[in-house]
Amino acid sequence: MSLSEAFTGLPPRRDPRGLLSLADLTPDRLAALARRSVEFYRDPTAHRDPLRGLLVGVVFTRTSTRTRTAFTAGVERLGGRAVGYGPGDLQTNTGESPADTARMFGLMLDGIVTRTAGPLADMRELSAESGLPVVNAMAAEEHPTQGVCDLATILLHRGSLDGVRVLYVGEGNNTATALAQGLSNFADARLHLLTPDGYGLPENVLKETTARASGNGGFVTESHDASAVPADVDFVYTTRWQTTGTSKPDASWRETFRPFHIDETFLSGTPGALFLHDLPAHRGEEVSGAVLDGPRSVAWSQARMKLCSAMAVLEYAFAGQG
């Protein structure tokens, strides 16, 4: 059935597509996205308007500064037009079903970038019902576009993803999941997650990424003792303790997290490491201002990479390039 002609009944469903999880991508594709992100970092004009003539819905039902700006600006920089929707803009707030909203998008748009606090399965349904490619700009389980940004930032500063050693400190949240999903694809890459007890990576993700990393000669490991910090790492990475759209069942969770605060004393234990943070940061909680703004921090080039990696993802997902 062609939507360019009169039709009856529902628009056709399609298999989900776009960029929904880094687990869906091959190592070659991940590497290509990281390289393309770095190319855009060095020259944001290195393209031929691959989204020219395309309308992309940027649907964010949760707060966002960097990711929403990056994808809105990225669509425009690639020659397309962005149609933005905030948390209160859709008729799902008045009772319309998500499936009907998705079908409407499919009749009017060419692609969707979305952030929610809901499950990844909902985004797969959004793609299937709309028939459009969908980019997951954060779901409850995974933040894959942040993962692409992180891989690209490491590549920019180190020159290679193979053999990289990363210490991630804090909650095993959707950012940590994407980092593990991404790094486990590269030869001899080693990721150590230092997490508060009870706040580690989901068991299925840890098992899956551990097996994949092992097959590539690297490892994904997790520990919970903040006094035992691996010293031989290239990057120390943290993220804010309160993940967007979630809450913690333990009212005293901040005390549980306090030993995982990264200050100059903590960072002195990893003398060769650069510091990563996906932002926003809460200075005085997960990181001190002296570290975040200090000479070993690459968090601000990582922030710039948000736009560049968004452009690489948009080009891949909506123009079939990269």
On whether residue 2 sits in a domain, the answer given is: no
Residues 265 and 313 in one domain: no
Residues 283 and 314 in one domain: no
Residues 86 and 139 in one domain: yes
Digits of tens for pLDDT over the chain (322 positions)?
Answer: 567 788 889 999 999 999 999 999 999 999 999 999 999 999 999 999 999 999 999 999 988 999 999 999 999 999 999 999 988 898 888 989 999 999 999 999 999 999 998 999 999 999 999 999 999 999 999 999 999 999 999 999 999 999 999 999 999 999 999 999 999 999 999 999 999 999 999 999 999 999 999 999 999 999 999 999 998 999 999 999 987 656 788 888 999 999 999 999 999 999 999 999 999 999 999 999 999 999 999 999 999 999 999 999 999 999 976 4
Residues 95 and 241 in one domain: no
Residues 36 and 97 in one domain: yes
Helix ranges restricted to H, the chain: 27-42, 66-77, 98-108, 120-130, 144-158, 174-183, 203-215, 253-257, 264-268, 289-292, 299-319
**What's the rounded Cα separation, in Å, for the pair 291 and 227?**
18
Residues 58 and 118 in one domain: yes
How many structural domains are present in the chain? 2
Per-position b or e across 6-32, b if 16+ CB within 10 A of its CB: eeeeebebeebbbbbbbbebeeeebbe
Residues 197 and 277 in one domain: yes
pTM exceeds 0.75: yes
On whether residue 4 sits in a domain, the answer given is: no
Residues 202 and 245 in one domain: yes
Query: What is the Cα 66 distance to its own chain's centre?
Result: 11
Largest CA distance in the chain: 68
Q: At what angle do helices 144-158 and 299-319 cross, to 10 degrees?
A: 120
On whether residue 263 sits in a domain, the answer given is: yes
Range of the domain at 280: 145-303
| Cβ neighbours for 207, distance < 8 A, ≥ 6 positions apart | none
On whether residue 270 sits in a domain, the answer given is: yes
Query: Per the structure block, which two tokens stand in for 296?
Result: 């070993």
Residues 170 and 90 in one domain: no
On whether residue 6 sits in a domain, the answer given is: no
**What's the rounded Cα separation, in Å, for the pair 130 and 70?**
23
On whether residue 11 sits in a domain, the answer given is: no
On whether residue 288 sits in a domain, the answer given is: yes
Judged by phi (left if over 0) then psi (alpha if -120 to 50, else beta), residue 15 lies in beta
Residues 84 and 169 in one domain: no
Residues 240 and 266 in one domain: yes
On whether residue 8 sits in a domain, the answer given is: no
* Three-state secondary structure string covering 108-175: HCCEEEEECCCCHHHHHHHHHHHCCCEEECCCCCCCHHHHHHHHHHHHHHHCCCCCCEEEEECCCCHH
CATH number at residue 219: 3.40.50.1370
Residues 86 and 102 in one domain: yes
CB atoms within 10 A of CB 190: 22
